[in-house]
Structure 1
Amino acid sequence: MSHEEWLQARVHGLGGSDASVVLGLNRYKTPFELWLEKTGQVTPQSSTSEAAYFGTLLEDLVAKEFEKRSGKKVRKRNAMFQHPEHEFILANIDRFIVGEKAILECKTASAFLAKEWEGDDIPEAYIVQMQHYLGVLGPEYKKGYFAVLIGGQKFVWKEIERDDELIEMIFAAEIDFWNNHVLANQPPALDGSSAAEQFLKERYKETDPNKVVQLGSSCKSKIEEYQSLKETIAQLEEQAKAIENELKHELKDAEIGYAGNYEVQWKPRVSNRVDTKMLKEKFPDIYKQVLKTSTARYFSIKTLA
């Protein structure tokens, strides 16, 4: 299929990269954000970021390097595979190993993530992705391989065996997510993502000033936890600011300083902003012309006597 057809198919099913999100193992996306995408409420995150762009560009190079180092041959199939019983469970395989019932996933990773690939380690999100693919292809596919270019200068490849128990857990979670959240149009648990915040802003934009509700029985403990977290955050921010001030004192009038492999900067930055107070005083008519009124709901908690 074409790239556009592939993008469209992704919206109507769960692929390997979605598996770790459904299981709550993805550091970049939450189940709530995924639900918004799959229900068409937001546009799926674009694959046009520089990291994604170069990952795609280097895929063929990584595959060829795998062939050279492993002695195995690979081939590409431009197709989207479906689970035989659940058509919304999809797999887009990078490469198939010739002469083996095995597949290859090509990855590029930042040098900062090198530790995740040390020794026998494989990031858990990628383990889940691989097992998802092996599950879709069927029980005859017994293993997969990862080929990874790290920081543009280090290459590793690893073998991973099929794990039927994990595959069963992955598919159970995906079936539940698709049937009970996507098809039922019921959001999963709200989280702290900006997508969840925006969803609530849009969903409950209109308010009833005369309406008062009695919150659920669990809300009192949530409020106490919320206030405790806010206090902890304030304390941590104060500690961080104290360390920042100590480092600034060490820099004095220098703009750059070094400590081990760290570079510390305290540079002047020029910014131009409109002084709204002065604009209002000196040019009140212009101020009124450019004044923009907006309404936003303000959240607060106060303790009653």
Structure 2
Amino acid sequence: MKLHKMSSTVGLSHEEWLEFRRKGIGGSDAGAICGLNPYRTAINVFLDKTEQGQITEDNEAMRQGRDLEQYVAERFTESTGKKVRRANSMFYNEQYPFMLANVDRLIVGENAGLECKTASAYSADKWKDGQIPESYEIQCYHYMAVTGADAWYIAVCILGKDFKWQRIERDEEMIQMLIEIEKKFWNENVLLGQMPSPDGSKASDEILKKYYPNSNSRQIKLYGFDEKLQRRKEISDLIEKLEKEKKQIEQEVKQYMQDNEKAKSDSFEVSWKEITQRRIDTEKLRAEQPKIYNQYLKTYQMRKFGVKDV
């Protein structure tokens, strides 16, 4: 295993550890850069590395993940008979020193490491039938790229429900692809201060809302987007047609069901139930009790995106 130590992690506070991670791309950054992390995007990573974003505040899930890391490692040893040890160091790739690795454990007697995870019972389906969340799998390939390991194990404690582990073999094609993606991100985005393009995720939406919350009255010239906006229009038209087709199918099934609450075929089960909801009649409240209405009125400010033909 080619272990090039950047720094010892012994005695580092969590804040100091986060600052060290800003000096390069870590394993948990890799999935976001590749567009595989549902909670973080390449923009998040860019803002973090260029010190434009706030250091992520610690939360209960993160705290439990750290505290249970030793337990997961012990369960892995119990399940496999393989001994593990702490690395107590942050490593870097000699050829690509921006690629960093702060690994959970190294496997004694093997050219391999271990990534320890915890997951809620609600996330159990993401691990069923040998599946590994893509972001975590990429994280393991990143560690293999940095350390030169032949394989990486991943173990997960699904809280209150299950314990699983798997071995991920080294895949040179995957690793080279990952290196190219990370190299491009580091050289063309981080070093040049160029924010990456959004990826269409909710996380990108939140980032754009946060960093561009207000608008001015100016109008700028729009260059290079006509083709994409035309494609957006085509997609919107297609969605409208598909929504109408979907609604028609639902209406046909309802017509067939008539007064029956459920219907079942060989492939599908359909329900059409009565649901009672209680809602505040805001129009009546505003008309009859305007002071109370205004007392509980909350103002939301947002930027509305719109496109029209010219």
Cα distance change of structure 1 residues 68 and 280 upon mapping to structure 2, 3 Å threshold? closer
Structure 2 counterpart of 1:130 = 140
Deviations 1:58-90 (A, max 9, x none): 433332232233222111234332334655432
TM-score normalized with structure 2 length: 0.71
Instruction: Answer yes or no: is the 8 Å Cα contact 1:95–1:104 preserved in 2.
Output: yes
> What is the SS of the residue equivalent to 1:17?
helix
Task: Indicate which of 19, 22, 42 corresponds to 1:31.
Answer: 42
Partners of 1:282 and 1:20 in 2: CA distance = 54
Aligned AA (1:25): L
Cα distance change of structure 1 residues 127 and 191 upon mapping to structure 2, 3 Å threshold? closer
Deviations 1:17-69 (A, max 9, x none): 2112222333443222332333344445556364x555445433332232233
Task: Indicate which of 10, 16, 21 corresponds to 1:5.
Answer: 16
Deviations 1:100-149 (A, max 9, x none): 3321122345331234626xxx5543343223212323x4x333222344
Structure 2 counterpart of 1:179 = 187
Give how far 1:93 is off. 0.9
Structure 2 counterpart of 1:160 = 169
Partners of 1:222 and 1:173 in 2: CA distance = 24
TM-score normalized with structure 1 length: 0.72
> What is the SS of the residue equivalent to 1:145?
strand
Structure 2 counterpart of 1:223 = 229
Aligned AA (2:196): P
Cα distance change of structure 1 residues 21 and 196 upon mapping to structure 2, 3 Å threshold? closer
Q: Number of aligned residue pairs: give it.
A: 292
> What is the SS of the residue equivalent to 1:136?
helix
Structure 1 counterpart of 2:72 = 62
Task: Indicate which of 106, 113, 126 corresponds to 1:113.
Answer: 126
Structure 2: tracts of 5 or more residues without a match: 1-11
Structure 2 counterpart of 1:79 = 89
Partners of 2:68 and 2:271 in 1: CA distance = 33
- 1:147 and 2:158 are equivalent in the alignment: no
Instruction: Answer yes or no: is the 8 Å Cα contact 2:101–2:146 preserved in 1.
Output: yes
Instruction: Answer yes or no: is the 8 Å Cα contact 2:104–2:114 preserved in 1.
Output: yes
Cα distance change of structure 1 residues 208 and 229 upon mapping to structure 2, 3 Å threshold? same
Name whichever of 74-83 and 53-62 sits farther off: 53-62
Give how far 1:262 is off. 8.0
Give how far 1:253 is off. 8.8
Cα distance change of structure 1 residues 107 and 220 upon mapping to structure 2, 3 Å threshold? same
Instruction: Answer yes or no: is the 8 Å Cα contact 1:15–1:89 preserved in 2.
Output: yes
Instruction: Answer yes or no: is the 8 Å Cα contact 1:106–1:147 preserved in 2.
Output: yes
Aligned AA (1:215): L
> What is the SS of the residue equivalent to 2:89?
coil
Percent identity reads 36
Partners of 2:51 and 2:238 in 1: CA distance = 37
Structure 2 counterpart of 1:22 = 33
Structure 1: tracts of 5 or more residues without a match: none
Cα distance change of structure 1 residues 156 and 86 upon mapping to structure 2, 3 Å threshold? closer
Cα distance change of structure 1 residues 30 and 269 upon mapping to structure 2, 3 Å threshold? farther
